[in-house]
Structure 1
Amino acid sequence: MIGNLRPHTWDSQQSVAYEAAIEAINGVVGAYSRLITDAESLPGAEDEIAEYRRLRAACQQERLSLKDEDTENVARVRAAYAARLRELTETGL
């Protein structure tokens, strides 16, 4: 199995950017989890909860599909998720 792995050399900038992108996604996943928890105590919030769960699952899927060697996508994801986290936290999380 190990023989089938292709070599990959990380530079420190690439590894830091990848980890920062993962952390940005994790922050958004956490924010949606908080919104779900808060909404669960509200009557009639089933649709809202379902939407938050859908959005959280999409984040988790993007995290799984993120490839460290795709530096352009890593940068895009990092910026997009940092902005989304700011939006979510500015709304009172």
Structure 2
Amino acid sequence: MTEPFITSLDPYEWDSEGAVAYEAAVEAINGVVGAYSALIAQEREQAEPDTAQISEWRQRQAECQQVRMGIDPGDRGRVRAVRDEYGTRLRSLRELMAR
């Protein structure tokens, strides 16, 4: 019988502060992806949608997904930088959506 996959994983130590920071960073990225989705939907509703803008926002969504997949929960400095960067970006996108 083969061993379960989970037994081959390296141990990883979490503390609650690190776990919360990582989750906050991931949620900030998810918020940005969602904001781009809302902007795309708004643009599609226009009489003449700006397809170049829609393509740019889709590309930015893909970039967000790459960042999200690449975050190392153990790299606290990177987690903090991502959380700050995407929190700021989300605020800017919300302002853009309100126009």
Query: Normalised by the shorter chain, which TM-score bucket?
Result: over 0.9
Q: CA deviation at 1:4?
A: 2.5
TM-score (norm 1): 0.93
- On the 8 A contact 2:43/2:54 being kept in 1, the answer is yes
User: 1:45: which partner in 2?
Assistant: 50
1:55 corresponding residue in structure 2: 60
Which amino acid counterpart does residue 67 of structure 1 have in structure 2? D
Alignment of 1:8 with 2:5, yes or no, is: no
TM-score normalized by structure 2?
Answer: 0.88
Give unmatched runs, 5+ long, in structure 2.
none
Matched positions, count = 93
Structure 1 residues without counterparts, runs of 5 or longer = none
1:67 pairs with 2:62: no
Q: Deviations over 1:34-85 (max 9, x none)?
A: 0111111221411010000000111011111111111111000000000000
User: Where has structure 1 moved over 4 Å in runs of 4 or more?
Assistant: none
Tell me the percent identity.
46
Kept in 1, the 8 Å contact 2:29–2:68? The answer is yes
Aligned to 2:22, what secondary structure does the other structure show? helix
